[in-house]
Chains A and B, each alone.
Chain A
Amino acid sequence: MTTLPSATGKKLGLVIDLDICVGCHACAVSCKEWNTGGYSAPLSDIDAYGSDPHGTWLNRIHGFEAGDGTGGRTVHFPRSCLHCEEPDCVTVCPTGASYKRSEDGIVLVNPDTCIGCKLCSWACPYGAREYDQSHGVMKKCTLCVDRIYNDNLPEADRVPACVKACPTGARHFGDLGDPDSDVSKVVQEREGYDLLPELGYRPVNKYLPPRMREVDRSHAKPAGERPAQIDAVHAPTAVEKFFGWADRVLSD
Chain B
Amino acid sequence: MTAANTQPTIDTSPVVSDEVKATTCYMCACRCGINVHLKNGKIRYIDGNPDHPVNKGVLCGKGSAGIMQQYSPARLTAPMLRTGDRGSGEFKEISWDEALELAAKWLGEVRENDPRRLAFFTGRDQSQSLTGLWAIQFGTPNFAAHGGFCSVNMATAGLYTLGGAFWEFGEPDWEHTKYFLMFGVAEEHGSNPLKAALGKLKGRGTKFVSVNPVRTGYSAIADEWLGIRPGTDGLLVGALIHELLRTENVDLDFLIRYTNAGWLIIQDEGSPEDGLFARDGDGQPLCFDRQNERLAGAIDKHVVPALSGEFTLSTGQVAVPAFQLLVKRFLSDRYSPGAVAEETNIPAETIRRIAAELAQVAFQHEITLDVSWTDWRGEKHDKIVGRPVSMHAMRGISAHSNGFHTCRMIHILQILLGSIDCPGGFRFKPPYPKQTPPLLKPSGKPGDVRPSEPLGGPHLGFPTEPEDLLIDADGNPQRIDKAFSWDAPFASHGLMHMVINNAFKRDPYPIDVLFMYMANMSWNSSMNVPDTIKSLTGKDDRTGEYVIPKIIYSDAYYSEMVPYADLILPDTTYLERWDCISMLDRPISEPNAAADSIRRPVVQPDRNVRPFQEVLIDLGARLGLPGFAKDDGSPLYPGGYPDYIVNHERKPGIGPLSAWRGEFEDEWGVGTPNPNQIEKYIENGCFAVHEIPEDQRYYRHVNKAYIDWAVKVGYRITDKPVFFQIYLEPMQKFRLAARGHGSVTPPAEHRERIRTYFDPLPFWYPPFEEAMVTQDEYPMHAITQRPMAMYHSWGSQNAWLRQIHGHNRLYIHRGRAAELGIADEDWVWVSSHIGRIKTQVKLMDGVNPDTVWTWNAIGKRAGSWNLDPEAAESRQGFLLNHLISELLPKRGDGYRYSNSDPVTGQAAWYDLRVRIAKAEDTVDGVALPQFEVIGRPAAVPPAPANLRYGAEFGDPTT
Contact = CB atoms under 8 A, between A and B. Distances in A.
A26 B64 contact: yes
Of B198, B221, B243, B361, most buried by chain A (CB within 10 Å of CB) is B221
A51 interface: yes
A222 interface: yes
B789 interface: yes
Interface in B342-357: 349, 352-353, 355-357
Nearest to A3: B3
A41 B3 contact: no
Per DSSP, chain A at the interface is loop
A211 B224 CA distance: 12
Interface stretch (B7-15, B163-171, B295-303, B515-523): B7-15
B800 A45 contact: yes
A33 B4 contact: no
Contact of B947 (A25, A55, A169, A242): A55
Interface stretch (B210-218, B428-436, B560-568, B773-781): B210-218
A233 interface: no
Nearest to A34: B45
Contact of A53 (B1, B48, B324, B806): B806
B845 A69 contact: yes
Interface stretch (B548-556, B582-590, B862-870): B862-870
A33 B956 contact: no
A152 B59 contact: no
B950 A222 contact: no
A96 to B, nearest CB: 7
A115 interface: no
Interface string A1-19: 1011110000000000001
Contact of B946 (A5, A33, A46): A46
A33 B801 CA distance: 12
A176 to B, nearest CB: 19
A183 to B, nearest CB: 15
A51 B868 contact: yes
A56 B947 CA distance: 11
Contacts of A210: 221
Of B61, B192, B199, B247, most buried by chain A (CB within 10 Å of CB) is B61
A108 B7 CA distance: 10
A185 to B, nearest CB: 14
A218 interface: yes
Contacts of A32: 64-65, 800
Of A35, A72, A223, most buried by chain B (CB within 10 Å of CB) is A223
A236 B65 CA distance: 63
B799 interface: yes
A179 interface: no
B871 A49 contact: yes
A145 B39 CA distance: 19
Interface in A55-107: 55, 57, 63, 65, 67-69, 72-76, 96, 99-103
B202 A5 contact: no
Nearest to B958: A112
B32 to A, nearest CB: 9
B203 A20 contact: yes
Contacts of B361: 218
B371 interface: no
Nearest to A250: B252
Given A23-B788, A30-B64, A39 B956 contact: yes
Given A53-B803, A169-B203, A48 B945 contact: yes
B331 interface: yes
A234 interface: no
Interface stretch (B50-58, B99-107, B229-237, B275-283): B50-58
A209 interface: no
Contact of B246 (A4, A148, A242): A242
30 contacts: A20-B199, A20-B202, A22-B221, A23-B220, A24-B217, A25-B61, A30-B64, A33-B46, A36-B949, A40-B956, A42-B951, A43-B950, A44-B946, A49-B868, A51-B875, A53-B799, A65-B845, A69-B845, A75-B220, A99-B3, A99-B8, A146-B10, A149-B13, A152-B15, A164-B48, A167-B60, A167-B192, A225-B246, A239-B327, A250-B252
